[in-house]
Amino acid sequence: MKKIFLLIALALTCKWAAAQDEAIFMHYLVSPILINPAAAGFQEGLQLQANARAQWTGFEDSPKTYGALAHTSIGKTFGLGVGVLSEQAAQINRMRVQLNTAFRFQIRENIKLGIGFGTEYQRMVVGNDVANNNFYQGGDDLLDDFLNGKGVFDATIGIYGAYLERTYVGLTFNNLVRNRLDDIASSNDNGSFLKYYTFNVGHRFDLADLNVSLEPSILFRQIKDVPFQMDVNLKAGFMQDQLIAGLSYRSIGALGILLGTKISTFNLYYSYDVSFQRFQRYNTGSHELTLAFTLKPKEKAIKGY
C-alpha cells in the first residue's frame, strides 16, 4: 500500500512540476526579481543573491529548492539578469536557467518605470529508481517523458514601477509560451495568452521619529495549473533597516514570518511558513534563506578634487 501511495504521489508530482510554478521562493518582499523580470537592474549596481527553500520539512522527499541569481544595471536604461535554480521533489530533479532583460525609464523626476522580458529553459528528470519499482509499467507517457528528461521553454513579460522610491507596483504575465502551445493543441484560440499573471503593490511609510518604517503590500497570483493565491504582507524596518521583520498571510491557508538584517552591502533574510491545512500535521513547516550582496558603482570623482 505504501508503494502504491508513493507512485500516486509521484505521478501527481510530475504534473505539479510540469505546471512551472513561477514563484518557488517567497522572498519577493525583499527581492522582486524573483517574480518580475522588469526588476532586473532597477536599482543601480550589481545584485548577487543565493536562495534556499526547504518545503514541508520533516516529510520524506519533500521539495528543496536552491537558486543563484545576479542582475545589474547597464548604463542608464538597461538591466540584465541571469539565474540558475535547482529543485528536488520526491524522485524529480528540475533544473531551471533564466535570462532577464529590462529597460527602465525616468518618466518624471520621482517616477521610474521598468519593462522586462524573461525567458527560461527547464529540464525535469525522474530518477531511474522509479522504473525499477514493481508497480511501474511501461507505456505511461507522462512518466516515460520524465524518465528520459523533459525540456520546456517559457517566457514572461513584466512591468515594474516606483514613485518616490516608496510606492511600487509590479505586473507580470507568466507562462506565455506554454499557455499558447496548450491553446493550439486544444484548438482553443479564443482565450487570451495573458490570462496568467502576478500583480503586487506596496507602499513604505517612514516614521522618522521612531526610526521605523512600515511597508504593507498585497500580491495576487494566477499561475498555470496552480490555484489562485492572494498574499497580504506587512514588513517593518528598524534602525534604517538594520533589522527587518515581516508577516504574511496567504489565501491558500498559510502564515509566514520574516526576519532579516541589512549591514552595509550585505543582506540576510530568513522566513518560516506554517500551513493551516491538514497536511501540516505531517510536516514541520517550510524554511527559506536568502543571502544577498549589493555592489554599487563607485561615484566618479569631480574634476579638480
Nearest to 96 by CA among 122, 69, 135, 132: 122
Nearest to 106 by CA among 143, 77, 72: 77
Residue-number span of the structural domain to which 111 is assigned: 2-295
Neighbours of 171 (CB within 10 A): 17
On the question of pLDDT at 289 being above 90, the answer is: yes
Q: What is the DSSP string of 188-202?
A: --SS-TT--EEEEEE
Residue 219, in any domain of the structure: yes
Domain containing residue 39: CATH number: 2.40.160.40
Residue 223: predicted pLDDT? 83
Residue 304, in any domain of the structure: no
What is the rounded CA–CA span in Å between residue 63 and residue 54? Answer: 6
Residue 124, in any domain of the structure: yes
The pLDDT tens digits for 9-18 are: 455 444 444 4
What is the rounded CA–CA span in Å between residue 203 and residue 167? Answer: 4
Give the count of domains, the chain.
Answer: 1
Q: What is the DSSP string of the chain?
A: -HHHHHHHHHHHHHHHHHT--S---SGGGT-GGGT-GGGTT-SSSEEEEEEEEE-STTSTT--EEEEEEEEEEETTTEEEEEEEEEEEETTEEEEEEEEEEEEEEEEETTEEEEEEEEEEEEEEEE-GGGTTSTT--TT-HHHHHHHH-EEEEEEEEEEEEEETTTEEEEEEE--HHHHHHHHHHTT--SS-TT--EEEEEEE-EEEGGGTEEEEEEEEEEE-TTS--EEEEEEEEEETTTTEEEEEEEETTTEEEEEEEEEETTEEEEEEEEEE-SGGGGGS--EEEEEEEEEEPPPPPPPTT-
Cell readout for 177 is 509560451
Which band of pLDDT confidence, cut at 50, 70 and 90, is reported for residue 297? confident
Residue 256, in any domain of the structure: yes
Residue 183, in any domain of the structure: yes
* 140 or 292: which leads in pLDDT: 292
Q: Which residue has the cell 516606483?
A: 162
Mean pLDDT of all residues in 171-196? 70
Cα–chain center distance at 64: 14
Cell readout for 284 is 514541520
Residue 301, in any domain of the structure: no
The pLDDT tens digits for 65-111 are: 999 999 999 988 999 999 999 998 877 888 999 999 999 999 988 99
The pLDDT tens digits for 186-242 are: 555 555 667 889 999 999 999 988 999 999 999 999 887 778 899 999 999 999 889
Residue 273: predicted pLDDT? 95
Residue 170, in any domain of the structure: yes
Residues facing residue 80 across a β-bridge: 72, 101
Residue 52, in any domain of the structure: yes
Q: What percent of the chain has pLDDT over 90?
A: 54
* 160 or 185: which leads in pLDDT: 160
The pLDDT tens digits for 17-56 are: 444 444 478 899 999 999 999 999 998 899 999 999 999 9
The pLDDT tens digits for 259-285 are: 999 998 999 999 999 999 888 899 999
Cell readout for 222 is 494566477
User: What's the mean per-residue pLDDT of the chain?
Assistant: 84
What is the rounded CA–CA span in Å between residue 58 and residue 105? Answer: 46
Which band of pLDDT confidence, cut at 50, 70 and 90, is reported for residue 3? very low
What is the rounded CA–CA span in Å between residue 149 and residue 125? Answer: 4
The pLDDT tens digits for 131-169 are: 566 555 666 666 666 667 778 899 999 999 999 989 999
Alpha-carbon dihedral of residues 85, 86, 87, 90, nearest 10 degrees?
170
